[in-house]
Amino acid sequence: AQSVTQLDSQVPVFEEAPVELRCNYSSSVSVYLFWYVQYPNQGLQLLLKYLSGSTLVESINGFEAEFNKSQTSFHLRKPSVHISDTAEYFCAVSHNAGNMLTFGGGTRLMVKP
């Protein structure tokens, strides 16, 4: 069985400040890791994913996440946030024997002017 923990349910931050959204997982097998973002009244959209290779992955809008196998973490970071980044962020895992996603509880990022 696998599980995902997002330690912070809400993260308030001022515009242009850096942010880190934490994600830890547990699994007995190799996993694929994902961050999804949900804007108000919309479905979940893939932000970035780690499958293999370089442990640092980046999205097109400035987010990055680093896979740390020893700490079983996949934290999401952005050096300077914008108001438009206000959304709910979900960390998720899947394993290569199946295609179901297991989600964390989500972190609501609130960017203030």
Partner 1 sequence: EPEVTQTPSHQVTQMGQEVILRCVPISNHLYFYWYRQILGQKVEFLVSFYNNEISEKSEIFDDQFSVERPDGSNFTLKIRSTKLEDSAMYFCASSLAGAYNEQFFGPGTRLTVL
Exposed / middle / buried, residue 54 (Cβ in 10 Å: 0-12, 13-18, 19+)? exposed
The CB-of-44 to partner 1 minimum distance in angstroms stands at: 4
Q: Report the residue from 63, 65, 78, 104 that binds partner 1 according to the rule CB under 8 A.
A: 104
Cβ atoms of 36 and 92 within 8 Å: the answer is: yes
Q: Report the residue from 46, 56, 83, 110 that binds partner 1 according to the rule CB under 8 A.
A: 46
The CB-of-26 to partner 1 minimum distance in angstroms stands at: 14
Count of residues that bind partner 1 according to CB under 8 A: 25
Distance, CA of 9 to CA of 21 (rounded, Å): 10
Cβ atoms of 55 and 72 within 8 Å: the answer is: no
Please identify, using beta-carbon distances, which residue of 18 and 98 lies nearer to partner 1.
98
